[in-house]
Amino acid sequence: MRCVVPDLVGFGRSDKPVSSRDHSYQRHVDWTRELVLDRLGLGRPDAGELTLLGQDWGGLIGLRLVAEHPDRFTRVVAANTGLPTGDVDMPEVWWQFRAAVEKAEVLDVGRLVASGCARGLDAGVQAAYDAPFPTEESKAGPRAMPSLVPTRPHDPSTEANRAAWAALGEWRAPFLTAFGDSDPITGAMAPVLQRHVPGAVGREHPTLARAGHFLQEDAGAELGRVVAAFVRTVTP
C-alpha cells in the first residue's frame, strides 16, 4: 500500500505564489489533477487501485476529481469535508473563521490549525505548520482559500460543484465518511453524503470521538486504522 500526500500549491514545500489572485478553486482542481492523474498516473489500469482520502480542501478538490474522472478511483473516504455550492449558507463559525483570516495583520497558521482541534496541538506541531510560511507575503495561499469556498449560488465554482454532486449521486463504488464528532464547520455534511452517494448507503460510517475539524491531528492513528481497514477489506 502506497500513500501519496500532495502539497497544495502555496502550502507545505510547494511553490508560494505571492498574490491571492494566483489562487482559484478551479486552478487548484487543475493543479491537483495534473499532478495526481496526469504526471503520476495514479488510477490507471496498470497502476493499481486508487483510494481518495479527502479532508477539508482535500475533499473540495478530491471529490471534484472523483466526479469528473470516476474511472480512475476505486473507493473514497470523505473526512470532515464537503462540496459546497453556495445554495446552503455556511455555518456562522465558518464566517467567523473567514473574517479572522481576512482581517489578521499577521496570519498565525499554526494557531488557526490548533483552533480547529478538539484535543489541542502542541507547540512543536504548530511550529511545523508555521515553518513553510517565513513571511506574510508567503501566506497568499492560506489567506486566499477561505474566500474560494462557494458561498453564493452565483459563485464561479458553483456549477462545477453542482455537476459533481450529480455525478456522485451515481457513484456506486465504496464510499465511506469518517468524520470527527466535534467539527462545527463540516459535521453536518456526513449524513448528506451518506444519503446522496449510492456507494455510501447501507455502510457503517465511523464517527471519531473527541476529533475536531482537523481530525488527522486529533485522531490521526484512529483515522489511519479506519482507512487501512477500508482499503484492505472493501472491494468494488
Which is the catalytic residue, given 28, 155, 213, 218? 213
- Has 89 been annotated as catalytic? no
Active site residue 183: yes
Q: What are the residues whose beta carbons fall under 8 Å from the beta carbon of 52, sequence distance 6 or more?
A: 62, 63, 65, 66, 73, 75, 76, 77
Which listed residue (23, 56, 155, 218) is catalytic? 56
Q: Which of 183, 196, 205, 218 is catalytic?
A: 183
Q: Is residue 130 annotated as part of the catalytic site, yes or no?
A: no
Which residues are annotated as catalytic?
A: 56, 183, 213
